[in-house]
Structure 1
Amino acid sequence: MEERTVSKNHKLVINNRKNSLVTGVNDVLSFDLNEILLETEQGMLMVKGSDLHVNRLSLEKGEVDLSGNIDSVAYSDMKAVGKQSENLFSKLFR
């Protein structure tokens, strides 16, 4: 039997720099009051700001609701992030 991978659509909606809905989320890698790092279908998504909160998380649906003062949103390639962490670990264990 053939395995199929279903890719979710990714959407980022920000309302008045206070609330955000993100779809196509695979995982929440880290979060604190100043930064949230999400793994999405389109790469790593970093949200920076202040007083940030994850209000709702549904990994089954791939959705995350965020609130707080959003200052910036940045994407990076998942492969590049994986390489950087891999290099860090290889340096630590030499």
Structure 2
Amino acid sequence: MPYEKSLYQPEREEKREHAVTLTDRKELKLTGVLDVDSFDTEEFLLKTSLGYLMVRGHNLHMKNLNVDEGLLTIQGKIYSFDYIDESKQQPAKGFFSKLLK
């Protein structure tokens, strides 16, 4: 599919305040969401104003999504959420990495 310039919204790239609120591990409210790259019932990959955010859980679903305002609410059983820092590659810390030192 060719890139359509009319669909691109550069105002989404502006720095937005980013906040994460987790309530009872059942509801995750986010601000500063620029895009939802992928999602299913186990995992969400989000582009936020502070980098990529991976949300993992069980029976996850979107309750509210407003990308123009950067708001997203995810419901389900939240196991973890991690920021993916592409600039820093962390060394392996598993059993085999310690064994091979």
Map of 1:50 onto structure 2: 58
Map of 2:84 onto structure 1: 76
Any unmatched runs of 5+ in structure 1?
82-94
TM-score using structure 1 length:
0.76
How many residues are treated as equivalent by the alignment? Answer: 76
The CA RMSD measured in Å over matched residues stands at: 1.7
Q: Does 1:20 align with 2:28?
A: yes
Q: Could you say which structure has the higher helix fraction?
A: 1
Letter in 2 for 1:73: F
**Identity of matched residues, %:** 38
Map of 1:30 onto structure 2: 38
Distance in 2 between residues matched to 1:20 and 1:61, nearest whole Å:
16
TM-score using structure 2 length:
0.71
Map of 2:15 onto structure 1: 7
Give, in angstroms, the shift of residue 6 of structure 1: 3.4
Distance in 1 between residues matched to 2:33 and 2:14, nearest whole Å:
13
Q: Does 1:66 align with 2:74?
A: yes
